Structure 1
Amino acid sequence: MSRIIDTLFKRFDKTIEANIRSSARNHGRRSFLARTGSAMLGAAAITPILPFDRRANASTAEDACSYWRQCAIDGFLCSESGGSLTTCPPGSTVSAVSWVGTCTNPDDGKDYLVSYNDCCGKPAIPTATFCNNNEGERPGYKMGLYNDINWCMANEDKGYHCTVSVVVGLAE
């Protein structure tokens, strides 16, 4: 069986070699380079090379956690849990305490103070996007700047649901 396979491979190899040698005899390197150059020039002529503004989508992020005001968030996004970026979903209540972060808006280059509030009283939705951005987080002894706490502990309904990010104002 291996003899048959060896014979087939030898014939295949000879055929390919004969075709390549014939092509090399009939076509020179210069004609190959000329054809390749023409093809590349033609492709460049058809491809639109127009200027475009990259800033058009600057304020939108690749994913929800990369949005500029989510720079210090730690939790599920309320915008995917029945609420919005700034409001808790119906049936949940905003936490009595929160943590703050300072985030830079790439559109205007200014720093904003962002308050992160947990929404309490409903179970978390595991299919919602979970963000864990720790930019500017401080150790646990600076409680207002520490995002690894269940802030719903200050409420009657202690069950954590999601987190909203509210811009408080310009950071000075």
Structure 2
Amino acid sequence: MNWLLSLIDRVTERRVRQTAHVHGRRSFVTRLGTALVGGAVLPMLPFDRSGQFGSAMAAGSSGGAKAKAPDKSQDPTQCEYWRYCAFDGFLCTCCGGSLTQCPPGTEASKVSWVGTCLNPQDGRHYLVSYNDCCGKGSCGECLCNNNERERPGYRLGVHNDINWCMANTSSMFHCTTSIIVGAA
């Protein structure tokens, strides 16, 4: 057994000495540093995850067929709904109201802001009036803040960061509706 350990020691020593004659300490430190930095940078490189999404969808469906993800641009309880392109506030659809009606106990603001949103189903742009519902404390459900084509605050009719309940008797903001005014 000692002869085997002695043989391993001699072979290892010979290899280490040969490597030391060929490569200096600086080249070893350089290569080690490159490997460490490269290993740290590697996870930051971009790569395609679309294949993972497809397999996850297939795994979640029954019978092996791919499940279709729900279209959030057609769900009025989601911030991605197409009418909410210039929306800022709580969705009335989550607060007891609807797309066009304020919840009970609130009234529509007398002033509003307007956005131009693209309906993906028909490919047309529509003027959408955003009316705050006033008279109750903040709903606190389904907060959305979409600023597509938002204009600076000095153009109030297209600016969504204002309490539009200021013209009502009660300036308390509750939620916001989104009413189609017409085609753009």
Q: What TM-score, normalized by structure 1, do the two folds share?
A: 0.65
Q: 1:120 to 1:58 in 2, by over 3 A?
A: closer
After superposition, the Cα gap between the structure-2 partners of 1:63 and 1:90, relative to the gap in structure 1 and judged at 3 Å, is closer
Q: Residue 75 of structure 1 is aligned with which of 89, 114, 137? A: 89
> Does 2:130 match 1:85?
no
Counterparts of 1:27-46 in structure 2, within 5 Å, are none
1:129-144 equivalences in 2 (<5 Å) = 129-144=142-157
CA contact (8 A) 2:77 2:93 kept: no
3-state SS, counterpart of residue 69 of structure 1: helix
Q: Which gives a bigger RCO, structure 1 or 2 (Cα 8 Å, sep 6+)?
A: 1
Q: Distance in 2 between matches of 1:93 and 1:71?
A: 23
Give yes or no for the alignment of 1:148 onto 2:161: yes
- Distance (whole Å) between structure 2 residues aligned to residue 58 and residue 77 of structure 1: 14
Change (3 A) 1:58 1:80: closer
CA distance 1:166–1:62, change in 2 (3 Å) = closer
- Whichever residue aligns with residue 109 of structure 1, its letter is G
Report sequence identity in percent: 58
Query: Equivalents in 1 of 2:160, 2:137: separation in Å?
Result: 19
Query: What's the TM-score once normalised by structure 2's chain length?
Result: 0.61
Secondary structure at the counterpart of residue 99 of structure 2:
coil
Question: Aligned partners of 2:183 and 2:93: how far apart in 1?
Answer: 23
Quick check: 1:120 aligned with 2:134?
yes
**Distance (whole Å) between structure 2 residues aligned to residue 64 and residue 58 of structure 1:** 6
Structure 1 residues 153 and 63: CA distance shift in structure 2, 3 A: closer
Question: Which ranges in structure 1 are unaligned for 5 or more consecutive residues?
Answer: 1-46
Aligned Cα RMSD in Å?
2.4
Q: Equivalent of 1:111, from 125, 136, 144?
A: 125
Distance 2:138 2:132 in 1: 11
Structure 1 residue ranges (4+ consecutive) displaced by more than 4 angstroms after TM superposition: 47-50, 54-59
Q: Report 1:32-71 matches (<5 A).
A: 57=71, 59-61=73-75, 64-71=78-85
CA shift in 2, pair 1:60/1:156, >3 Å:
same
In the alignment of these two chains, the number of paired residues is 122
Q: How does 1:5-24 map to 2 (within 5 A)?
A: none
Distance 2:176 2:142 in 1: 11
Amino acid at match of 1:161: H
- Secondary structure of the residue aligned to 1:144 is helix
